[in-house]
Chain A
Amino acid sequence: QITLKESGPTLMKPTQTLTLTCTFSGFSLSTSGVGVGWIRQPPGQALEWLALIYWNDDERYSPSLESRLTITKDTSKGQVVLTMTSVDPGDTATYYCAHARGSEESYFDYWGPGTPVTVSS
């Protein structure tokens, strides 16, 4: 059974660095064709993809946020960490991590429940 869960701060101040951890079980990030992605959703708005890391250490980033994002994995711990620098109120959203299946045109077949993050001074 695949499960994922996000954790991290719920309240941030502008200019701080946000670190979110996705802790997963039921699969290994060393298995070919597997990845973990991060997606966020501002209140009342659409889903926005942020980053994805694959079993082979291939990293993908949203072009609009790439300069602020870093995604890493710890296969032995079953965790993926997303770091976002210089947050501002526009980064207020619910952040999801999700299991990505397929090495080509992956899709997200399992999602965590999400963790809300508010950026406010």
Chain B
Amino acid sequence: SYEVTQPLSVSVPLGQTATITCEGDKIRTRSVHWYQQKPGQAPVLVIYRDSNRPSGVPERFSASNSGNTATLTISTVQAEDEADFHCQVWGGRIVVFGGGTKLT
């Protein structure tokens, strides 16, 4: 079965750029979706189909997908961005979530 791996945590100073990765074999051939989840809340879609931002998501959220790594980038990180981030792909007929990355 297909698996994706995320770092457990990423720490970045306010105002700097955060990079969160999602690794999987030839992940470039799959669409990657990203969710932000704040404590006690449901996940929120922030990126769909590799690099598309839903309406209402700040422009500082961007993403790419190449080779074996998909990357979520948050530029000029703000305090409100602190959360868990989850990547999601499809492995054949099933949904696969990464283990989640805590951004502090």
Tell whether A and B belong to one assembly: yes
* Residues in chain A within 8 A of chain B (CB atoms): 37, 39, 46-49, 52, 60-63, 96, 101, 105-109, 111-114
Binds A, one of B20-28, B75-83, B85-93: B85-93
Q: Which size bracket describes the interface of B in this complex?
A: 20 to 34
Report which of A61, A101, A108 forms a contact with B88, defined as CB distance below 8 A: A108
- Contact, CB under 8 Å: A60 / B95: yes
Choose among B41, B43, B86 the residue with the greatest number of A CB atoms under 10 Å from its CB. B43
- Kindly list chain B residues whose C-beta atoms are within 8 Å of the C-beta of A106: 90, 95
Convert B27-63 into 0s and 1s, putting 1 for each residue whose CB lies closer than 8 angstroms to a CB of A: 0001101010100011111001100001000000000
Q: Please indicate which of the listed interface residues A105, A113, A114 has the most CB atoms of chain B within 10 Å of its own CB.
A: A105
Q: What is the CB-to-nearest-CB distance from A89 to chain B, in angstroms, rounded to a whole number?
A: 21
Q: Give the Cβ gap from B98 to chain A, nearest Cβ, in Å.
A: 7
Residues of A within 8 A of B89 (CB): 105
Cβ B43 vs Cβ A105 within 8 A = no
Is A46 within 8 A of B95, CB to CB? no
A49 in contact with B100 given A96-B42, A105-B49, A111-B42 (CB within 8 Å): no
| Given the contacts A47-B43, A49-B94, A62-B94, A108 and B35 also touching, CB distance less than 8 Å | yes
Chain A residue with Cβ nearest B88: A107
